[in-house]
Structure 1
Amino acid sequence: MNSTSINSKTPSSLNGVTWFPVRSRKDVNLEVERLKFEGITSIRLGIDCAKFNTKKGLRWYDWLVPTLAESFHLELCFDNFSFAPEGTHSKRHSLSEIVEHFIIKHGQHFNEVELWRNPAKRANEEICENIYSEDVVFTATWAKRLGKKVSLGGIQTVDFEWITKLISCQFLSTVDYLKIDKETEDDWSTNTRFYERTLRSLFEAKGVKTQIKTSEIPMRNLLTSGREIAC
């Protein structure tokens, strides 16, 4: 899933995901004041897992989350190393460890986490026989155990077999929302309405209570220009 670069001075909806790259705290404080002036009260905050796995990134998020929580209702969205360079294997902390860190240290600031599948796994790996060995499934289970609502985000048509596997093993009882991605796959976006109807019918037939949502508004990427600055 790719983010859309938006100039920090350009008004746009916050129904997408908001990204704050590691930069000056002063820049963030100015952006917070601008968003408050626009009447924004809720932010879906993107967490770049690869950036978190740096000393600078960890300090940044430990400052950013409570800072934003002073002014906005937060939902945290974890990209599961979606933005990490291809071939990168140095992950000091796994997805589950990163999510656990945020829940344990900052859990009072948010009630819901959204988890994405890693695109590389979607493209190159067969569905695990033991579905709970997949990192996003294990992490969702752990986040639910730690008291948070859980969403699976960025779901695409190619995930249909994976979703049916989740249904058969009754994993979706852990998941509050399934969010179908309509914004990044133009090749099949015209078919997502049929895909959504199919999933709804399947959920009804199997007694699955997970709610299905769709995302149509591009993700919001703030403070993208200029070099990164240590916080």
Structure 2
Amino acid sequence: MSENATGPSTGQPTGQPTGQTTGHTAIDLDTWDRAQAYRWFRAYAKPHYAVTCRLDVTRLMRDRKPAGVSPFRASLWAIGAALSAVPDMRTRFRDDTVVRYDRVALSFTVARPGGGFGYAYQDWQADFAAFDRGVQATIATVRAGRDLSANTASDAVAYLSCLPWLDFTALDHATPGPEDCIPRVSWGRIVPEGDRYAMAVNVQVNHAVTDGEHLGSFYSALQEALDSA
């Protein structure tokens, strides 16, 4: 998956905004079933935690890649599908306000030919073919550019990065502080395991809005998406 390899995505999405309005629902802290946990972890100096799991990508490597499907772009799509499937991965807070977005965009890293990287910004679409075409166009634009124009207008986003050099077992991400609640997802080198293929996927979240149960749902949805991309 070296097509767009860089290190972990550590900051704000850069590149062109999607131009797509994102609806959201305000969460009432008086009736929210996890308001107590939210308030508890908001007081932490380091509320972030990360989990790494190995997922099966045999179908992607055996069937889809020979048919011309990019494992990198298919992984992007599958991660977007999993984020869309789990509401808690789309929950954000600002001061004392908590909202849940209807959808989030994907900010992912793109390697540039002469070295270094840029950030891309792409709306997720359920139609894989349409999403794939859009990602290819976005990658071409970012590769041709030079500047990193930070776009901090919205937190309706998730940060994604691929590390194809490493079959890692754990990963930590830089965050600007405890108020950051945007998920970060990284995936590593695809490796053979007997007659199967596996890929490490790391997710870092803020415990104020995302529990282990939610990550379990995310990984389940991600595996399902990888099997159907």
TM-score (norm 2): 0.29
Higher relative contact order (CA 8 A, sep 6+): 2
TM-score (norm 1): 0.29
Question: Which structure shows the bigger proportion of residues in strand conformation?
Answer: 2
Question: Which structure shows the bigger proportion of residues in helix conformation?
Answer: 1
